[in-house]
């Protein structure tokens, strides 16, 4: 347990944020230390206190708190600031058919008087409620919970009566607790670097198996959570879809020690940025050749995601583990990206395109009648 002289990190972060928001101008570390008890510990050396602040500053920035460093003149000491406009959300209000609305009441205190006001039109409020409802229907536990939380927060400042039924549906519809519980277990294993065992259902191979992995991190890509992990049996890096996991067990031996070390050359952020939805999963990789229309700038940009194709000089080659995701991506180019090989992808694109056209024509006919 933390001692009285060394409060918990979260408490220290709150003290830092509160101290910064009290000032409208940049402050030095000495001024900040006078406001934050953890930085004013007389038993700590000055360089130790400064290192603690630098770690806190970097971690808060990673969490989205925009602390700025202001360089000193002529090489002098730096100062720091946190602008209230960059930290607080704006005030929300509704525009009632062009009528003048009373501005929101601003609480007393530093920072609140300078915040901007964001005004919503009635149709925009209705669109928010409908969008939140659609997120619920995606059946992703974390997104569903976030959507419900967002609607609740908006309801404090703006009325959702225009589409109240949709708003209530978003708030009351239960989320999928099983996915949420699995994510929490995996998050714990990632942070503590503990081995994990779980049952995994592979849709591509239509098989169930017990997996043992070293979890490197969790990523959210194209609406799906994946665990990036080293598969101990296969001795290879794999991406496991969280929704297909069950009976997740964290190694309980030596609970306070790491079970493994992540390779020094592995960076989860860089790894995630270099991956597309069609590359994720544990299915066998398929090499797909695609011909792009260079006159279409969007197609030209899409071509950059592939590699040179040794068999088709006018094509780009892609490594595909999720054909469904890849076909949907190709469809978005409207004919400016055409698969050449293999035939399974070519046929799949034709089928999806035909089904999309049929749905559009049916909807058009229904609307006209």
Is the dihedral angle over the CA atoms 311, 317, 323, 329 positive or is it negative?
negative
Residue 321 structure tokens: 């583990």
DSSP string, 52-92: HHHHHHHHHHHTT---EEEPPGGG---EEE--HHHHSPPEE
> Over the stretch 30-63, which tens digit does the pLDDT of each residue have?
888 888 888 887 778 888 888 889 889 988 888 8
d(CA 62, CA 65): 7
Q: Which CA distances in Å does 235 have to 108, 232, 280, 284?
A: 59, 5, 17, 15
pLDDT at site 248? 93
> Over the stretch 145-164, which tens digit does the pLDDT of each residue have?
777 777 777 777 776 543 43
d(CA 61, CA 98): 39
d(CA 171, CA 163): 13
Q: What is the pLDDT along the chain (369 residues), one digit of tens a residue?
A: 444 444 578 888 999 988 888 888 888 888 888 888 888 877 788 888 888 898 899 888 888 888 988 876 665 678 898 888 788 777 777 776 445 566 666 666 666 666 777 777 777 877 887 777 777 665 555 667 777 777 777 777 776 543 434 433 333 333 344 567 888 889 889 989 999 999 988 755 567 889 999 999 988 776 678 898 999 888 888 888 888 888 999 998 887 789 999 998 888 877 776 667 677 766 667 899 999 998 888 888 888 888 899 888 899 999 888 888 888 889 888 888 999 999 999 998 988 888 888 877 776 766 565
d(CA 345, CA 123): 41
Residues 6+ apart with CB under 8 A from 49: 33, 39, 41
d(CA 108, CA 85): 16
pLDDT at site 196? 94
Q: What is the distance, to the nearest Å, from the Cα of residue 290 to the centroid of all Cα atoms in its chain?
A: 29
| Stated pTM of the model | 0.43
Residues 6+ apart with CB under 8 A from 55: none
Residue 101 structure tokens: 């609305």
pLDDT at site 234? 83
> Over the stretch 62-87, which tens digit does the pLDDT of each residue have?
888 889 888 766 656 788 988 887 88
Helix 46-62, helix 9-21: angle, nearest 10: 80
pLDDT at site 198? 93
């Amino acid at each position: 347990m933390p001692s009285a002289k060394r409060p918990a990190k979260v408490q220290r972060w709150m003290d830092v944020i509160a101290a910064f928001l009290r000032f409208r101008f940049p402050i030095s570390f000495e001024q900040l230390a006078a406001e934050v008890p953890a930085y004013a510990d007389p038993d700590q050396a000055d360089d130790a206190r400064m290192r603690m602040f630098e770690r806190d500053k970097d971690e808060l920035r990673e969490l989205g708190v925009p602390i700025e460093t202001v360089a000193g003149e002529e090489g002098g000491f730096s100062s720091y600031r946190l602008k209230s406009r960059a930290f607080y959300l704006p005030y929300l209000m509704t525009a009632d058919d062009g009528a003048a609305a009373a501005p929101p009441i601003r609480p007393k205190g530093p920072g609140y008087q300078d915040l901007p006001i964001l005004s919503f039109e009635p149709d925009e409020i209705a669109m928010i409620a409908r969008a939140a409802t659609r997120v619920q229907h995606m059946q992703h536990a974390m997104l569903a919970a976030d959507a419900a939380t967002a609607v609740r927060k908006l309801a404090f400042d703006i009325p959702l009566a225009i589409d109240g039924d949709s708003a209530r549906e978003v708030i009351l519809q239960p989320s999928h607790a099983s996915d949420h519980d699995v994510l929490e277990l995996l998050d714990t294993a990632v942070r503590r670097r503990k081995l994990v065992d779980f049952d995994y259902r592979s849709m591509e191979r239509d098989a169930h198996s017990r997996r043992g992995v070293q979890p490197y991190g969790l990523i959210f890509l194209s609406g799906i959570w994946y665990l990036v992990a080293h598969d101990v049996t296969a001795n290879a890096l794999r991406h496991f879809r969280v929704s297909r996991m069950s009976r997740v067990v964290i190694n309980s031996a030596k609970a306070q020690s790491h079970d493994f070390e992540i390779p020094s050359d592995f960076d989860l952020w860089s790894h995630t940025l270099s991956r597309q939805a069609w590359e994720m999963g544990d299915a066998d990789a398929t090499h797909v050749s695609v011909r792009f229309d260079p006159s279409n700038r969007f197609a030209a940009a899409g071509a950059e995601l592939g590699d040179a194709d040794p068999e088709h000089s006018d094509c780009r080659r892609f490594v595909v583990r999720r054909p469904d995701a890849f076909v949907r991506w190709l469809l978005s180019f409207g004919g400016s990206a055409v698969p050449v090989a293999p035939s399974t992808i070519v046929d799949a694109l034709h089928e999806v395109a035909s089904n999309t056209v049929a749905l559009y024509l049916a909807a058009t006919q229904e609307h006209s009648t």
